[in-house]
Structure 1
Amino acid sequence: MHKKIMIHTLVATALCFFGAALPQTAQAETLRVGINAPDITTLDPARATATADVSLVSWIFSGLVRFVPGSSNAANIEPDIAEKWETSPDGLEWTFHLREGVKFHGDFGTVTADDVVYSLTRAKDPKKSSFASDYAAVKSVEAVDPNTVKITLSEPVPAFLGLIANYHGGNIVSKKAAEALGDDFKSHPIGTGPFQFEKAVTQQAVELTAFKDYFRGTPKLDGIRLEFIPSDSSRELAFRSGELDLIYGKREQRWVEQAKLWENATVDIFAPGEYRTVFLNTTHPPLDNLKVREAVAQAIDVDGILQFAGETVAKKGCSVVPVGYQGEDCSWTYKYDPEAAKKLLADAGFADGVKLSAVVSSNSTQQPIMEVIQAMLAEAGIDLQMKVVDHPTYQEQVRQDLSDVVFYGAARYPVADSYLSQFYHSDAAIGKPTAVTNFAHCNAADDDITAARRAKTDEERTKLWSSAQKKIHEQVCGVPLFSLMLVWVRNKGLDYGYDLKGSLNLAPPITELTTLKH
């Protein structure tokens, strides 16, 4: 039994036994959350990409604007730290007017234009941000006065407000805190959100407390405790025994159906899906041969993978741009045909087959799918040799070009540019100073991706995005699979305070309105 579960159970038993002798006091309502991670990596919002990190960041920080809680729809953006804004007719100048008196956690004062300038300048610096490429069109960020910020773009940016929302680099940090703490800021974050960082215990938990001076009102919860429990069965046991109120679920259909039968449980399945793609490193032999990459694409049965994953939690992809993103074009797909794959290998000079390597995460959303893909490839004469490692090691090694094949899943701001820029533009190729997640070293559509950012009309931009997807498809930089929806399970006594349909930050938003009844 999980050690923490055993301790909690013993304490609960003792309380029941001596309950009559204890004074009747109000029970502290701290939300207990379990997640499938061994630890945090960073709580710096400009660097956080792992699910646990992003989840915590979303409860600690705020942006100039925000997605309406429970929505990942770019049309549902509302004021946050900024109370209003205006833009020039050409969309190149944006002026934001800040709310007065928005407090940072601790003794770091209130938000000023200087903090916003610092935060967004930092977000576009590749030495300090993992999302710098998103802000390539940001020409300048200026403080007009203490409560007014002007952002000037070098070219129009599709759905610009999404880049400065409460997501990734859009989160506002305290300039004073970041400069004072330096590298320690990643483990002692200072934001303006409803919950503030209290402490972290390595490989055990992170604790947040309610920020009583939160500008939208004091949270109804006393705090949040996020526990690191990589084992799916241990998280499930802790939830079902009442030790946890909210857990990251196993994104498999059979597991979801079982969880729906648990006593006092509600299963939340919501967008955006993390888009699963098999990226093929075009610089590694034999994948530098187009016919070999085409063979890999034709050897993978996406429909078969979907049957394994389940129709509720997995939505089939058709383009290199994720399902439902603005600009997605499904005009081109790869046909499953293992015999054709064998012929392609023979034509490429590999009649006896090929060997490929893949660093694979032991995470339950990765290893089982890769084992299915491994079996499919074997039928076409492709020997995929998998090196299975823990998830942090996987994240590190796939960014060191150690893998021919990279199976990766991610959610981004739902417009085509965000995915095309980060996964398929050569500026984002692994190994470059501006690297993001171009594991394929793809450069097939650089011109179209760049031109789309400068397009003056949506029609022109859409055509360029379509052209980019076609070129990437033809060069087989990756094989799109499916969007894996987010699955969380909560105690029926947990009321988010909104209707949960989506969350770009990968976890249910916990706001000042969230309540818990045990």
Structure 2
Amino acid sequence: MLKVAARIACLLFVLWLPLPVMAEESILQVGVGSGDPATLDPHRASATGDMTLIGWIYNALVRFKPGSADPRDLEPDLAQSWETSADGKTWTFHLRHGVEFQGDWGELTADDVVYSLNRSADPKRSTFSSDFASIDSVTRLDDYTVRIALKYPDASFLGRVSNYHGGNIISRKAAEKFGDDFGHHPVGTGPFAFVEQVTQQYVKLAAHQAYFRGKPKIDTIIVRNIPSDGTRELAFTSGELDLMDGKREQRWVDAARKRPGYNVDIFQPGEYRLLHINQNSPPLNDIRVRQAIAAAINVDDLVHYVGKDVGPKGCSIVPPGYLGEDCSVGSYVFDPAKARALLAEAGHADGITLKAIVSNISAQKPFMEVMQAQLAKVGIKLELQVVDHPTYQSQVRRDLSALVFYGAARFPIADTYLSEFFHSRAIVGTPTAASNFSHCAVADHEIEAARVAPDAEGQKAMWKEAQRKIMADVCAIPLFDLRQVWVHSDRLDYGYDLKGALNLAPPITELSTVKPH
């Protein structure tokens, strides 16, 4: 009997032992207000919402350290080392061995790098082709060595092949298979792989199990499209979101900082806001009308509305802090009386009516409404057509808006901004279109000359003259540098100190973690 009792006791003990706990899937829930991504092709994607995901999917030859947007923090990424010739015109990159693409697309080799960089430099396949104008050739020396010959020394070349815009490396096999639809079937080497996109709902990413820096600690990322700021905040407060983009307004930031569980991150680079004036839309082809608009806009009011932490004022059409920014070229002075006089001189004493396509996101619509009220005071009626953000992006690139309020962050040198927004080859609606919404074409010579200037001082002189000409032609009105504002919960640990992110969202890396509820 004692033996039977002992057996029963042992059986009961075994039955009451806790069952092995199945590892809980680690899911990061992200809320964004920018709408559906237009494309996840890194050589095409320029919209803010697209860039968020691009930063998590791809790598480049070199990268910005996670949490930094400082070019001094560039470090090896897909290339483990490189050398530069004495004349600065030849760069040789040695690739890591064993780097796997997401999915079943195999190992990264020099062929993928050569293909990607040639694609980035091709105006027909890349929005950022002008950034690679210095490249003469990209050559595979062997499976793990790439040589890039430049037409002229480019002091910013290493930044151009960083994990940002056209510098991202894609799978040649995947790109050739999917063709123009690659943006809906993205394949990179980054820590997270694309799984699916459900229109107007979410994008799902999964951990890249074979990521060369180690399997990510977060298994799944769900990026939800929540255009309403209030709805997004409610979801965050209730614990349904771990990370969200916040409102880039000082009063909202100040209030959010007081709320439990709201860890507010304000970081660089800012998306520099300009008001582009479309010279292809009469009467804006008359410089006096453009000058009147510049005199009617009170930028200080806008900056006061945004707030000191979130939106410092700009002084030139080149963003604050960029190499080559020059505030000595002169700025526009708020002068309503002058604005009315200029309109009258141009034959519009009774005023004019302009139409503008406006995104409904909080980072744009309120500011356009402020400027609408300012312009009304001098006789300029601004009719706002408010649309969702993807529609806005599409329509302003179809040249349908007289005024375009646009913000962008780029590699922090003057050339990137001047080339994309003010060179004639970037005019919207042309085969080489980028984001020249104003049809500005007065500084092509200086922009091009700066790229091949033999010394830094000559380059800065050309950039200064380009800014002077563009400001004199009133192609766009400098407004403010709108910093990135995100909020993360106590559950999320980035795994690094967040000070900057060129892809405009906190990098989620293999070291990032999210605690279960």
Describe how 1:441-452 pairs up with structure 2 within 5 A.
441-452=439-450
Residue 315 of structure 1: SS of its match in structure 2? coil
Q: CA deviation at 1:337?
A: 0.6
Displacement after TM superposition at 1:300 (Å): 0.4
Give 1:304's match in structure 2, choosing from 284, 288, 301. 301
**Structure 2 residues not aligned, in runs of 5+:** 1-17
Displacement of 1:201 in angstroms is 2.0
Contact 2:276 2:403 in 1 (8 A): yes
Matching of residues 110-509 of structure 1 within 5 Å: 110-331=107-328, 332-509=330-507
> Contact 2:36 / 2:390 at 8 angstroms: preserved in 1?
no
Structure 1 letter corresponding to 2:312: K
Residue type of the partner of 2:147? K
SS at match of 1:285: coil
2: CA distance, partners of 1:450 / 1:158: 15
SS at match of 1:316: coil
Larger radius of gyration: 2
CA distance in 2, matches of 1:357, 1:22: 66
Task: Report the counterpart of residue 510 of structure 2 in structure 1.
Answer: 512
Which amino acid in structure 2 is aligned with residue 334 of structure 1? Y
2:11 corresponds to? none
Paired residues in the alignment total 498
1:210 partner amino acid: A
- Look up the match of 2:73: 76
Name the Cα RMSD after superposition: 1.4
CA distance in 2: counterparts of 1:490 and 1:158, whole angstroms? 36
How many angstroms does 1:262 deviate by?
1.9
1:285-340 deviation per Cα after TM superposition (whole angstroms, max 9, x unaligned): 21111111111101000001111111111110000001111110011111101011
Residue 8 of structure 2 is matched in structure 1 by none
2:5 equivalent in structure 1: none
TM-score relative to the length of structure 1? 0.94
Deviation at 1:24, TM superposition (A): 5.1
Note if contact 2:443-2:470 (Cα within 8 Å) is conserved in structure 1. yes
Q: Which amino acid aligns with 2:499?
A: K
CA positional deviation for 1:183:
3.3
The one-letter code sitting in structure 2 at the alignment partner of 1:114 is D
CA distance in 1, matches of 2:45, 2:258: 34
Q: Distance in 2 between matches of 1:394 and 1:199?
A: 24
The percentage of counterpart residues that share the same residue type is 58
Q: Is the 8 A contact 1:158 1:415 kept in 2?
A: no
Instruction: Extract unaligned runs of 5+ from structure 1.
Output: 1-20
Q: Distance in 2 between matches of 1:305 and 1:344?
A: 23
For 2:435 and 2:380, locate their aligned partners in 1 and report how far apart those are by CA, in whole Å: 25
In 2, Cα distance between the equivalents of 1:180 and 1:247? Answer: 34
Q: 1:3 aligns to what?
A: none
Answer yes or no: is the 8 Å Cα contact 2:35–2:49 preserved in 1. no
Distance in 1, Cα, partners of 2:464 & 2:424: 18
CA distance in 1, matches of 2:292, 2:509: 48
CA distance in 1 between partners of 2:181 and 2:466 (Å): 40
Distance of 1:86 and 1:113 partners within structure 2: 16
Residue-by-residue CA offset, 1:260-290 (whole Å, 9 max, x unaligned): 1222220000001001101111232211111
Q: Which residue of 2 aligns with 1:64?
A: 61
Partner SS, residue 397 of structure 2: helix
Cα deviations across residues 43-99 of structure 1 (Å, max 9, x unaligned)? Answer: 111111222221111111100000111111111100000011111222211111101
Counterpart residue type for residue 236 of structure 1: E
Q: Which amino acid aligns with 2:380?
A: I
2:447, 2:462 within 8 Å by CA — same for their partners in 1? yes
Tell me by how many angstroms 1:155 deviates: 2.1
CA deviations on 1:10-45 (whole Å, 9 max, x unpaired) are xxxxxxxxxxx9985443221111111332211111
Aligned 8 A contact 1:359 1:387 in 2? yes
